[in-house]
Chains A and B, each alone.
Chain A
Amino acid sequence: MKFQTLESKTVVIPTDNIDTDQIIPARYLKAISKDGLGEGLFRDWRFNADGTPKPDFPMNRPEAKGAQILVAGDNFGCGSSREHAPWALTQNGIRAVISTSFADIFKGNALKNGLLPVIVPPDAHSELLHSPGAVVKIDLRSQTLVLPDGRTVEFPIDGFAKHCLLEGVDELGYMLQQKSAIAAYEAAHPSSIRA
């Protein structure tokens, strides 16, 4: 999945430690495909028990419509390894999440689905938290983000992940090409599991 540049308004959920059970509750994990997971996104924060939307939840506000960038508090995506979390986000049109930090597994899962985890310093983060709906420009190649006030900040990203996103590299294809190295490793390292 490719990612190069993105310009969009933001939607802000100003909460730290948003865990994967909030991003998509376990009861939505019974799917055997990726279809329809978007419905579960922030389900219990977005909707009342009777299925009506909670008007106060940032994603439900009219000005959030069409936002492709989510700004959230520290340590986004902690908890389970469910890749359903990035699937649910991307199915709702989210293509980047901005925070000061991400849980490791979520970050890895997001990158594999063209969802960009953008880590910004606290001052830029605080500006973004306080300007919901502002338009932000992300350029992956230069690893920069243009803030609403026009300032440019850099963000870190693993070089390989960046390359894969920019070029749309098929990671598994890359791994499969190393078959002979894998076979050589296997020959030299027999399993200790009793057959």
Chain B
Amino acid sequence: MKARTIVEKIWDNHVVTQQPGAPALLYIDLHLVHEVTSPQAFSMLRQRDLKVRRPDLTVATMDHSTPTYSRTLPVLDPAGAAQLEQMEKNCAEFGIRLYNRLSDHQGIVHVIGPEQGLTQPGMTITCGDSHTATHGAVGALAFGIGTSQVGHVLATQCLLQTPSETYAIQVDGALKKGVSAKDIILAVIAKIGIGGGTGCVFEYIGSTIRGLSMEERMTICNMSIEGGARAGLVAPDDTTYQYLNGREFAPRGGAWDAAVSCWKQLPTDEGAEYSKHLRLDAGELEPMVTFGTNPGMGIPISGAIPNPSSISDPMAKSDLVKALHYMALEPGKPLLGHPINVVFVGSCTNSRISDLRAAASVIKGRKVNPKVRMLVVPGSQQVKKQAEAEGLDKIFREAGADFREAGCSMCLAMNGDQLEPGEYSVSTSNRNFEGRQGKGGRTLLASPLTAAASAVTGVVTDVRTLL
């Protein structure tokens, strides 16, 4: 048999039928739903008098327009409130499990899936959200879809799909102190550009990736879309099985053993071919930070902001000029030491317990700089509970940070948490597009360690000076 990549294996296992001249009909094992990209899909079901085919494989949560100031106070924004209310109605009407604001399992859709063991190796997973690739960390083929496709999956549990190419992102070697998973993925994107993975699925391989925890792998897979790939994954291994074993929706007993023996067939075969291959030496990486208005505009923290005069392509040059103008940053200057106004630790990239622990390790015994507003937003109620059990909430609060309820929060400025025009934030989220965190806001993407260090000093800081 031909040597296959993990992506090809998962694909082959899920083709329901393949008609000539049409894309494959691909079966979807898990469909995650949130309030923003689903209402029009449910309306379509109603118009066409359709049911949800597999409510048991569909799980909904509230995260995007969900406020983080409280779980019980009313949602002040009428449009947000209406959207959440509609989600309740839709889930009740179509029989879908919903983790609403009051649920102990509520949280960012990409945090709760793995956390509850819904997300499993070898699965196909969809969600009306581009960061669905996060679930690839467990060895699943997980991609973001639009609302029309959300409707297709609700109605048929299938998706019409054509296969993608597989792009191997290989990272080997030991990370230096203060350098984390977030820095790896920011370095990858800085290298290949935000369109570098278009048409591809990333498979992250190499000794560094193997050595990462599940949560670190999630951080990396999460930002696959920022490199243009629709999905990204890591083949399952013992780290994966240990993480999943005992989680609420993971198989148990004999079913667990059977599942693990299936999952062990998934990793890419020796000799399988990748369409593209990128190699990175982890030992050469520094903490990364972005200076511009897309996630590919990143530099090592000790580096200088690039100069447009060094770029020959006229469009690329004018884009850089435009980005630096929006960011009000000067070419050739370091970013290190640049004053900031806000620090946001959260989002589906970095809001898990290990991220909060990392941030707290820097904050502990220190104060948030009085000029800085620091927001720590756990990715789920479960993460929040764990953080409280470990006293992390106290560390943050005593330092002067705000510790919030679970949700997307300041990642996308549609729930009340946002930057003011002109403000600079160091954020652990995944996008620094113009206005992403609030109209006129300026986002510098970085790791939780870098974010926490910058919160303490009030300027962009190399965390290694505080370790």
Q: What is A's interface to B at a CB cutoff of 8 Å? A: 14-17, 19, 21-22, 25-27, 29-34, 44, 49, 73-75, 78-84, 101-105, 108-109, 112-113, 158-160, 163, 171-172, 174-176, 178-179, 181-182, 185-186, 189, 191-195
- Chain A: minimal CB distance from B139 (Å): 13
Contact A74 B315 (CB under 8 A): yes
Q: Is the CB of B144 within 8 A of A30?
A: no
Q: Which of A32, A78, A159, A175 contacts B25 (CB 8 A)?
A: A175
Q: Compute how far the CA of A193 lies from the CA of B259 in the bound complex, rounded to whole angstroms.
A: 11
13 A-B pairs (CB sep. < 8 Å): A19-B433, A21-B431, A30-B79, A75-B194, A80-B129, A103-B195, A104-B230, A112-B148, A112-B149, A174-B22, A175-B152, A175-B158, A192-B29
**Residues in A neighbouring B158, C-beta threshold 8 A:** 175, 178, 182
Tell me the minimal C-beta distance from B263 to chain A in angstroms: 9
Among the interface residues A32, A112, A171, which one has the most CB atoms of the partner chain B within 10 A? A32
Tell me, rounded to whole Å, the shortest Cβ–Cβ distance linking B383 to chain A: 21
A158 touches B195 (CB 8 A): no
Within 8 A of A (CB), among B36-83: 36-37, 39-40, 43, 48, 50, 53, 56-57, 64-65, 77, 79-80, 82-83
Considering only CB atoms and an 8 Å cut-off, how many residues of chain B contact the other chain?
A: 80
- A17 vs B51: C-alpha distance when bound (angstroms): 38
Name B319's closest neighbour in chain A (CB-CB).
A16
Which of A14, A19, A109, A181 is in CB contact (< 8 Å) with B16?
A181
- Determine if A79 and B79 form an interchain contact, defined as CB atoms under 8 angstroms apart: no
**Cβ A193 vs Cβ B30 within 8 A:** yes
- A171-B195 contact given A19-B294, A78-B228, CB 8 Å threshold: no
Contact residues in B for A29 (Cβ distance below 8 Å): 36, 64-65, 414
Minimum CB distance partner of B29 in chain A: A191
Given A80-B130, A83-B148, 12 additional A-B pairs, CB 8 A: A22-B433, A26-B64, A49-B439, A75-B194, A78-B294, A81-B130, A82-B36, A84-B147, A158-B162, A160-B22, A160-B160, A175-B158
- The interface residues of chain A lying within 8 Å CB-to-CB of B132 are 81
Partner of B434, one of A21, A74, A84, A105: A21
The answer to whether B80 and A30 have CB atoms under 8 Å apart is yes
CA–CA, A34 and B44, complex, Å: 11
Q: How far is the CB of B79 from chain A (nearest CB, A)?
A: 4
Chain A residues with Cβ below 8 Å from B316 are 16
A102 contact set on B, CB distance < 8 A: 198
B250 interface hit (Cβ, 8 Å): yes
A182 touches B120 (CB 8 A): no
Q: Which of A74, A81, A195 contacts B129 (CB 8 A)?
A: A81
Interface mask (B84-109 → A, CB under 8 Å = 1, otherwise 0)? 00100000000000000000000000
Give chain A residues whose Cβ lies under 8 Å from the Cβ of B322.
Answer: 15
Instruction: State in angstroms the CA–CA spacing of A16 and B322 once bound together.
Output: 11
A178 touches B25 (CB 8 A): yes
CB-defined contacts of A27 to chain B, threshold 8 Å: 413-414
Q: Nearest 9 pairs between A and B by C-beta? A: A30-B79, A109-B146, A75-B195, A83-B146, A32-B39, A81-B144, A83-B147, A26-B414, A21-B433
Most chain A beta-carbon contacts within 10 A, residue among B17, B118, B195, B252: B195
**Closest residue to B57 on the A side, CB-wise?**
A191
B128 within 8 A of A: yes
Given A17-B319, A30-B79: A75 and B198 interface contact (C-beta under 8 Å)? yes
Q: How far is the CA of A22 from the CA of B323 in the complex (A)?
A: 13
Asked whether A171 lies within 8 Å of B152 as measured between CB atoms, the reply is yes
Q: Closest residue to B117 on the A side, CB-wise?
A: A194
**Does B23 lie within 8 Å of A181, measured CB to CB?**
no
Q: Please judge, given known A-B contacts A101-B195, A178-B16, whether A14 and B25 are in contact too, CB under 8 Å.
A: no
Q: Are B435 and A25 in contact (CB under 8 A)?
A: yes
Q: How far is the CB of B268 from chain A (nearest CB, A)?
A: 21
CA of A174 to CA of B22, assembled, Å: 10
Q: Which residues from chain B contact A84 at a C-beta distance below 8 Å?
A: 147
Would you call B152 and A172 a contact (CB within 8 A)?
Answer: yes
Contact B130 A105 (CB under 8 A): yes
Instruction: Give the Cβ gap from B52 to chain A, nearest Cβ, in Å.
Output: 13
**B397-436 Cβ-contact flags toward A at 8 Å (1 or 0):** 0000000000000001110000001000000000101111
Are A191 and B198 interface neighbours, CB within 8 A?
A: no
Chain B residue nearest to A44 (CB atoms) is B435
Q: Please tell me if the beta carbons of B17 and A181 are within 8 angstroms of each other in the complex.
A: yes
What distance in Å separates the Cβ of B270 from its nearest Cβ neighbour in chain A?
26
Minimal beta-carbon separation of A37 from chain B (angstroms): 10
Contact A182 B156 (CB under 8 A): yes
Residue B248 interfacial (CB < 8 Å): yes
Interface pair A30/B198, CB less than 8 Å apart: no
Assess the B195–A25 pair: CB atoms within 8 A: no
Q: Report which residue of B146, B155, B255 has the largest number of chain A beta carbons within 10 angstroms of its beta carbon.
A: B146
Contact check, A16 vs B147: say whether CB atoms are below 8 A apart: no
Q: Are A160 and B195 touching (Cβ within 8 A)?
A: no
In the assembly, what is the distance between CA of A128 and CA of B117, in Å? 50
Question: Is there a chain A Cβ closer than 8 Å to B339's Cβ?
Answer: no
- A83-B37 contact in complex given A22-B433, A25-B439, C-beta closer than 8 Å: yes
Q: Contacts of B436 on A, CB cut-off 8 Å?
A: 21, 26
Q: Residues of A contacting B194 with CB < 8 Å?
A: 17, 75, 78
Residues from chain A with Cβ under 8 Å of B50 in the complex: 176
Known contacts A160-B23, A181-B16, A193-B118; A44/B431 CB under 8 A: no
Is B151 in contact with chain A by the CB < 8 A criterion? yes
Q: How many Å lie between the Cα of A161 and that of B433 in the bound state? A: 30
Residue among A33, A185, A193 making CB contact with B249, cutoff 8 Å: A193
Complex Cα distance, B259 from A22, in Å, reads 43
